A and B are shown apart, each in its own frame.
Chain A
Amino acid sequence: MAYVVQSDSLTKKYGSILAVDDLSFKIESGTITGFLGPNGAGKTTTLRMLLGLANPTSGHATIFDKPYESLETPALRVGAVLEATDFHPGRSGRDHLRTLSQAVGLPDARVDEVLGVVELQSAAKRRVKGYSLGMRQRLGLAAALLGNPDLLVLDEPANGLDPEGVRWLRDFLRDFASGGRTVLISSHVLAEVAQTVDQVLIINHGRLVTESSLDDLTARVGGSVRVRSPQLTQLAEALQREGISSTQSNDHALLALGTTSEQVGDICFAAGVAIHELVTEGSSLEEVFLDLTSGEAS
């Protein structure tokens, strides 16, 4: 198995505060991984250690099998955005990108190319202080894309984005990953990334709480799927045969507990039950997240 990112017992102490505590995980190539946890859980500190910006107190991390700083021209393999505000306000967006592209010998044509990708061409020559938060987020993303990387690391990229911006980001990340490239995206809101990620790493108080696919997570800790069907009785029986309990939520729908939409769909198909609607309850994901993180907190 090819692992793009590996964290091995990563630990970071600031004085007596343990920000990251013996954190180990691996990220496979070609996945979109949500790195989740409440504010202050240690996500940003972990990302900074991965990217060589902060020195671990103990443990180590590698990207493409090497410490970040040992990669030859790392910007050509890894693109990262850690803050949406990392710009000199008096510099134009294009010049900001040029200061980075020139540092690794990329031509100005590549700058113009990525400005096109993030749809910022028209504002390219304006000074960054006139940019909205959404434009700054996209400029940061453009910087990360300059080297045409195989791995994107984004720290809370949806912060402050309006719904249209969130959708643009989601589509962008899906498109980026569709070519077999890898994305590590942190967030303190599971719902923000639930439609984007394949798997999740959840941390709290610097420790790994869980590492799994999103579907497994939902099923494991009691996610629910709402099914609308004209054959509720047959459906409930079919679910029961598979060991899945359910409750009728109204005359036309029932809630299958502790399962995934894929599993319920397969059961319905096998049992010949017609379904008119199949919805993973979004709130349950958030509940899962809150359960996991608040459980650790207590």
Chain B
Amino acid sequence: MSILVNKHTRVICQGITGKAGAFHTKGCKDYAPTMVGGVTPGKGGETVEGLPVFDTVAEAVEKTGANASMIFVPAAFTADAILEGVDAGLDVICAITEGVPVLDMVRVYDLVRRSNSVLIGPNCPGVITPGECKIGIMPGYIHRAGKVGIMSRSGTLTYEAVWQTTNLGLGQSTCVGLGGDPIVGTNFIDLFRHYQDDPQTEAILMIGEIGGTAEEEAAAYVKEHINKPVAAFIAGRTAPPGRRMGHAGAIISGGKGTAAEKDAALKDAGIEVADSPADMGQAVARAMARRRK
């Protein structure tokens, strides 16, 4: 078991004929045989990496049985691509594209949330169930099938955590990069629900960062509803207020969204907090040894 994606998932790439789309289609295809095609309007009938290209997502779904996609189209067209995926009834849509205008996400957010599709991102590395299915830009080889569900607002910091849990022999059930933007399709709480219900996931690692209140909300949820061991790390305790740290969402504004506030909420919920980014894997191990409830 795992969450969101597995060896039965059939994935298409929206924007497959672009440079990034083609490159990562190859990466995902080389990792697991779950890539089945792609979409670029006006380029239907072509092939990329031996996979068929279609003009619309609906057609790709009809011809390949696809139920998931990864989006590499330019930022200006990402909201449209997301809704096209929703319209075609995809189960999982990963928007990798960064730089999407935030009001575009406001415009599509309610429609996506009311649909049966799960949107991951935008501005995210994607989703991977080690050994079964990779949708996104993460390096596959650092992962190892195992026990820990990892979710994060960051890309390379997730790789760091994955690598640590791999080296400790814990491995991962499914890793999800939620994305670094102020509004993303899926939040920590959504994934806590999935991880709680997944028998393969024995522990959960949440990697947050400064800005917003998503980690505080997640902590409150964990306190009430999660009985699996949970560890967490918050990036940005040295970030100055009012300055955007790369991610559009990573900013302390009006004195809100500091790492200290988030750490306090996490600890209050009984979550094992890593003080150092080098300690994320060990924090998971400590949480597992300690056991919740």
Q: Do the two shown chains form a genuine complex with each other? A: no
Binding site for B on A (CB under 8 A): none
